[in-house]
């Protein structure tokens, strides 16, 4: 099985690097790669958002600020590369074709951001589509997809199983609200739908046992492609 893991920056580096979690994650990724082909995309998280917020003081250039965020994602990616040791390709991969080449070498390609205007969720979805991955696992600081933002609505309901079309609808609704957000952004959701990618959205608690997650044993959300 070919699996792409999309790891949120706030999961790896909430306020500072979560060393214990990174060690557990790296161990599991190495072990999973013994039986499966694995690729990873790492986000920027809170650190990236803080840098971008600070940059607003100096420039209105959104593309420039996107590049700042991309650099932070790649720093986080380097941290994971260090934790994975020799199993990881030693440089942050910046191109999908290179990721494919690295997989052929039996190494794990680690990516961060690639282009302005694309979140790392979108990068992960595109990578999964390009690699024709069997599974995309999205690891976030929210433990699944909800019918509304659980950080704002205490009565929000977690959705155990949805279609890719429903994921797009939920993501679009989240982004249409002022200050709104969804676990997977709308662009990424559209790529998941287009690529017909089976996707699991899980939280940090599930991520400590990825061996079960890739078998569908988790408390997150299963996103099934339409026929």
Annotated binding-site residue? 27: no
Annotated binding-site residue? 119: yes
Annotated binding-site residue? 209: no
Closest CA to 73 of 98, 54, 92, 57: 92
Annotated binding-site residue? 141: yes
Annotated binding-site residue? 10: yes
Distance CA 34, CA 57 (A): 47
Annotated binding-site residue? 225: no
Residue 222 and residue 161 in contact, taking contact as beta carbons nearer than 8 Å = yes
Annotated binding-site residue? 117: yes
Annotated binding-site residue? 174: no
Structure token digits, residue 141 = 């600081």
**Cα 197 to the chain's mean position, in Å?**
14
The CA-atom distances, in angstroms, between 117 and each of 69, 130, 172, 190 are 10, 19, 16, 15
Annotated binding-site residue? 199: no
Q: In what order do the strands lie in the sheet with 135-139?
A: 110-111, 37-42, 2-7, 135-139, 199-202, 221-224, 161-163
Annotated binding-site residue? 116: yes
Give Rg (Cα) of the chain.
16
Annotated binding-site residue? 140: yes
Annotated binding-site residue? 120: yes
Annotated binding-site residue? 115: yes
Binding residues for UMP are 44, 66, 114-120
Binding residues for ATP are 9-10, 45, 49, 140-141, 146, 149
Binding residues are 9-10, 44-45, 49, 66, 114-120, 140-141, 146, 149
């Amino acid at each position: 099985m070919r699996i792409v893991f999309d790891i949120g920056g706030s999961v790896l580096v909430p306020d500072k690097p979560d060393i214990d979690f990174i060690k557990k994650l790296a161990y599991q990724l190495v072990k999973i790669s013994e039986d499966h082909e694995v690729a990873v995309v790492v986000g920027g998280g809170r650190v990236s958002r803080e840098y971008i917020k600070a940059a607003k003081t100096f420039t209105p250039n959104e593309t420039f600020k996107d590049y700042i965020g991309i650099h932070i994602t790649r720093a986080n990616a380097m941290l994971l590369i260090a934790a994975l040791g020799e199993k990881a390709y030693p440089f942050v991969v910046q191109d999908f074709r290179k990721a494919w080449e690295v997989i052929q070498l039996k190494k794990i390609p680690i990516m961060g951001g690639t282009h302005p205007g694309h979140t790392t969720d979108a990068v992960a979805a595109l990578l999964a589509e390009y690699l024709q991955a069997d599974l995309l696992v999205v690891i976030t600081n929210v433990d699944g997809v909800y019918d509304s933002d659980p950080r704002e609505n205490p009565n929000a309901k977690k959705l155990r199983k949805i279609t890719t079309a429903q994921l797009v609808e939920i993501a679009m609704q989240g982004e249409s609200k002022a200050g709104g957000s969804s676990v997977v952004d709308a662009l990424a959701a559209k790529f998941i739908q287009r690529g017909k990618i089976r996707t699991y959205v899980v939280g940090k608690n599930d991520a400590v046992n990825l061996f079960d997650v890739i078998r569908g044993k988790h408390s997150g959300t299963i996103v099934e492609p339409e026929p």
